Structure 1
């Protein structure tokens, strides 16, 4: 579980999140709440209220965010499984830089009730672990319909036994290496080369691996995300939920956010202040025009990926185009904090799939210069099973001593 915001300091919920209840009912033990970035508004790991979350492989570097604590605890083998929230990559980014497995499941597959929303069209919560099997096992437990409490979910949800489909056999599976996911402006050559080489090893499990293209992916997709991202920050003014949707509304959480925003606004992290002011400026001058345009373009983006996934079972690319960055020194300026923590180059491959809702998993492709490199596997809506199957087959190949 995750925790971390001065805005909500002292708030004790009167009920568990749905995923917590399901974990407990399945026999799991909640060891505690891991630290995340303050208000979850950073793709890095230096804005949490208790100080930086350190990378388990190099303590001078970021663990990735915003689900930074969950990834670090897994990498340090302090817990077996963890959860993370993902509105723009916040499960997959720390999974990549910490060398663990993190799944942003299909939008709506895992109920979000009991987690603080950031954007109802982008909210995901998902499993994290050191192995694909443990991620699949946890998904079996936490996925499924939440009795109409969560409007993100379709009513006809079914949850397969994901673990039974981890056969290691990829016969008939077609894998596309997304051209636009490699070689971006911020990409490091060793990251691109490692992910490409490792993906081609899937042929030994029977897969067909070849290059393919979705021109809208880069750089357009992250630009589309940026306006939808800012628009959905209405949840800050709407105290976590806003209005206009059916489902369960946790009133005590809303009360805590109202109190926090009104009495402790200065305690918000610089990233949240920046986003709040930017959103306020945009809406004051242009209303919701850009948000609306972004949502419309998201439909085009979803169609583009769906077209590609009609030809391929999964799409692969680096999770993050570069290796874990150095943590900043203590006298870093506010503008530099925002520049580092809200890095769309860091998010360019991950954030598009928050808009489109496709399942996307990060798995460690290996190490370069002693640092983990994440490989992201993306699949069709509600075909999380194939994503996990491909990831598990790769994990077997990667760890094989032959």
Structure 2
């Protein structure tokens, strides 16, 4: 009587499943039977007029269906193998982390030999490292420790890399600026009053400070290339699906990219050789027919026959600064000394419609996948990290108010669109992606790469602590007046590879990024052009 009375007072948590073995063994239900009140709320959501008697019938029938959930809960799911030993590490003190670029420090040593032997690596904190805390820049995931390694982590360790820790990223990666992380702003390595951009803010800063040799970045709207530009390092967003995303927090599987960052193009290419390749069906973004060339062998410095297109719409935007445009044009024309031809090419859909199409996909896609879908979403085959799903579920329920203003904007707008328009604009946006992709492909039929500024203006000052919601959203997500992503986000929806390299420094000593975009799965040419420029720049 005591237990049955308690369950009634707890609001109909459902029956306790009793397994009779000898004297009896009790097993709590994995999924409780919904109460009639909960079923009534679900009925209202779908505009169903159901009587109490009908709801009772559905409730009774569901008890049998829920036995499947009980059994699934008891079965052991397969997890990626954790091959290399490690300790949890430590949260660094401010004195050893003055730019706030490290979230967590550790030391994980992999194979004694390999392509990355002895090279130190920072892992962006939206990438799982087993046994090491993973916050993804957000209070929502604070305290979560994954029990699996992301595929790229295993590949780095198999290649002899040494993981030195987790780099700070923006709050659930939803910012092109570097001040939304729950652990505080990441400071620009060249001017600590300014942003290092985002969301791979920590990775770029650690590279610029020479604290690591290599870093992992993630890119859903420019988040590898943007901080690479404002930190003066190299960041490569690979062709969509070239590098497996398995074990990383997803925002929308059609725009998710993860890739290498380094101080040199050669190290970036070397790291891509290690990261790229098929992941045995664990990542739906990939094709089993992937081939990975030896990118480093193609870094010859010779661009004979290479046709470079200066993308007209990538320059002269409303927020463009003349010195940035001029520096990138000048840098691109220097490629002629390596044998390339350089001329202007136009893709009218690039700006501003490329950003509008991206927004239609990214806002509701992120809402459905990362927020309602707890970082994984539904509808694809591969590895689903269920422990992360649980962590997101708990975090959204308990720490939602602690999300950044940028995330709250996405939550509010995404929910409004869902309730009032369904997925209409997400669907139309995805359809228009085909048109945008065709436009870039036509330009890339006549040119091997397209070049433009990564960000059309120099690093911004970090906002004050009392910045308004409007100011935070303007700087984190962009607006007509301030938009970091106009040139980067279109290739997230089209999947073309893109790389940012430092074109030089403009007054007052701030780095300017040049972006090189190439054909699908022709990352080799993108890297080749970047390497040739690097040689010219540094000669």
Please confirm whether the aligned pair reaches a TM-score higher than 0.5, indicating the same fold.
yes
Distance 1:346 1:186 in 2: 9
Residue ranges of structure 2 left out of the alignment (5+ in a row): 1-122, 126-136
Distance 1:263 1:12 in 2: 17
The one of 239, 243, 249 aligned to 2:384: 249
User: Which position in structure 2 is the counterpart of 1:300?
Assistant: 435
1:228-263 Cα deviation digits (max 9, x unpaired): 111202111111122111111111111111111111
User: Which position in structure 1 is the counterpart of 2:372?
Assistant: 237
The one of 9, 15, 29 aligned to 2:148: 15
The answer on 1:145 being equivalent to 2:284 is no
1:286-341 Cα deviation digits (max 9, x unpaired): 11111111001110000000011010000000000100000011111122111110
Q: CA deviation at 1:64?
A: 0.5
May I ask how many residue pairs the two structures share in their alignment?
Answer: 400
Q: CA deviation at 1:9?
A: 1.0
User: Which position in structure 2 is the counterpart of 1:317?
Assistant: 452
The one of 407, 416, 419 aligned to 1:284: 419
Structure 1 stretches of 4+ with a deviation exceeding 3 A read: none
User: Which position in structure 2 is the counterpart of 1:259?
Assistant: 394
Q: What SS class does the counterpart of residue 161 from structure 2 fall into?
A: coil
RMSD (Å) for aligned C-alpha atoms: 0.7
Distance 1:247 1:303 in 2: 29
The one of 501, 524, 527 aligned to 1:388: 527
The answer on 1:358 being equivalent to 2:489 is no
Written as runs of structure 1 = structure 2, the 5 A alignment for 1:97-176 is 97-176=230-309
User: Which position in structure 2 is the counterpart of 1:334?
Assistant: 469
The one of 206, 210, 229 aligned to 1:96: 229
1:34-91 Cα deviation digits (max 9, x unpaired): 1011110100001111111000111110001000000000000000000011000000
TM-score by length of 2: 0.74
TM-score by length of 1: 0.99
User: Which position in structure 1 is the counterpart of 2:124?
Assistant: 2
Written as runs of structure 1 = structure 2, the 5 A alignment for 1:208-247 is 208-233=341-366, 234-235=368-369, 236-247=371-382
Structure of larger gyration radius: 2
Larger RCO (alpha carbons 8 Å, 6+ apart): 1
Q: What SS class does the counterpart of residue 375 from structure 1 fall into?
A: strand
